[in-house]
Amino acid sequence: MRNVVFCLFALVFIISCDRHKDYDVTTNSIEKDTLISDSSIVNDIPEKIGIKMNKTGGVYEIPCLVNGVKMNFIFDTGASDVCISLTEALFLYKNGYIEDGDIGDRSYSQVADGGIVENTKLHIKTIEIAGIEITDVDAIVVKSISAPLLLGQSAIQKIGRIEINGDSLFITGVPKEKNQKEKVIKEKVINNIPIPPSNPQVTWWDKVIAWFGNEKKVNEYVNHANNSWDNDMDELALLYCNKAIECNKRSWKPYALKGHIFYANESYVDAIECYNKMLKYNKRRESFPLDNGDTIRFIRCMERLSWANAIIGHYDEALRVGQTILESNPNNTQAINTISYVYLKKGKYDQAERWAKKLLDVDKKKAYFRLAYLYNEQGRYAEAIKYYEKCIEVDSKSDASMNNLSVILLEHYRNTRYYEAVELKKQAARLGNKFSIDWLKDNKIDW
């Protein structure tokens, strides 16, 4: 009897908490001929991002990109500034990652023993943490070659709200302008594509299921699955995912990981099924940090869901998911790329070109490739050649661009550019491009 009373009390408590949640449920949609504006891209419940910190010598470090360079910083909420050693500063300067204008005046700070040390102020253009990019960070260079790298308040306060649980750092409430490079797409949307709620309701029943769902065991199986997948044991990875689902059929994590595994194996129909279940159960749009330092990210699942639908010809669904991504991530490269591809496949070339050109501001390589592909489909071969060449200039290892460019040269400029096309095939083959490898084998050409 006592147990029954306890359970009833717990349910009443959870229901009461649910009634007092601090967010509302709204339905957002982008109607025909409306603009995606600031007000339509703000989520009341932002994505929660988890970072697995590495414990070294009693302190926790997190991986960062400083002006694009990988560095591991000690997460130090007690430090006022970002601090780097003279060694790292010299490396950044010698390799062009910081310029003369980024180096400021001398400054002075007090160390733990009470002494005063001389530092140099430094302006860091960008620091990226778990995909979140913050700009214009104040830092100091400590004039010691062995000084630790500290991530202090000058960066931390720009990230958002932080929570630390053991060796995991969770970030929520990321300011929109900090992880979207302060740009908003203001483009008329051609189709009337409904957007699902950006802050879906989490009911008391969801909380009860999570409470009894043995999440600790689910997390353990998901990590086993990820480790198996890392070691090319896909079947074992899927088995562990299914074990996790048996523990809690409403946990989104195993469905997300299964989606990634199927996607990597080009089983797009299965991937779509898994990603849709992930969407159904991941109502708070959370991410999950794995034991190996990787993270299962909500936005990554959405990107792949949109592209997988585009690949198998579910164009309207691909557009719907792509527009959902842009609702909160207006400069998301993959979503823009997918939308351009879909309009190309639907034969709406003007719209495809317009969306492809949006990529020029955020990812020139993808923009050049998408424009080249589009112009080739339209028979505008000179323009296609121009943009494939631009793509190769930006990325000298773009085997797809090399292969596609060679195809155009062989089909339309064979008499004048045959040897150039063959050389491109050889370069692409050395990079592993299977289409170029097959062509060279069929033509009995060594590479």
How many residues are recorded in the chain?
Answer: 447
What does CATH list as the number for 363-442? 1.25.40.10
Domain boundaries, the chain: 51-160, 193-328, 363-442
Q: Within a 13 Å sphere around the CA of 386, how many CA atoms are in the beta-carbon half?
A: 7
Judge whether 193-328 and 363-442 match in fold.
yes
Token representation of residue 358:
């949006």
How open is the CA angle 83-85-90, to the nearest 5 degrees? 120
Q: How confident is the model at residue 257 (pLDDT cuts 50, 70, 90)?
A: very high
Percentage of residues of the chain with pLDDT beyond 70: 76
The class that CATH gives domain 51-160 is mainly beta
* Confidence check: pLDDT of 202 > 70: no
Task: Give me the pLDDT at residue 211, please.
Answer: 55
Phi, psi of 392 (to 5 degrees): -70, -35
Q: How confident is the model at residue 180 (pLDDT cuts 50, 70, 90)?
A: very low
The model's pLDDT over 106-151, given as tens digits with 9 standing for 90+, comes to 766 555 445 556 778 888 999 888 778 888 888 888 877 667 888 8
DSSP structure class, residue 148: P
Q: How far from 255 is each of 196, 214, 308, CA to CA, in Å? A: 20, 16, 15
Task: Give me the pLDDT at residue 181, please.
Answer: 36
Q: How confident is the model at residue 47 (pLDDT cuts 50, 70, 90)?
A: low
- Given a contact cutoff of 8 angstroms between Cβ atoms, the answer to whether 316 and 297 are in contact is no
CATH architecture for residues 193-328: Alpha Horseshoe (1.25)
- Concatenated DSSP letters of 10-64: HHHHHHHHHHT-S------EE-TT----GGGS--SSPPBEEEEPEEETTEEEEEE
Radius of gyration for the alpha carbons in the chain, expressed in angstroms and rounded: 25
Exposed (0-12), middle (13-18) or buried (19+): which is 166, by Cβ within 10 Å? exposed
- Return the closest-CA partner of residue 157 out of 180, 174, 141: 174
Which residue in this structure is represented by tokens 């809690």? Answer: 248
Average pLDDT over residues 170-174: 66
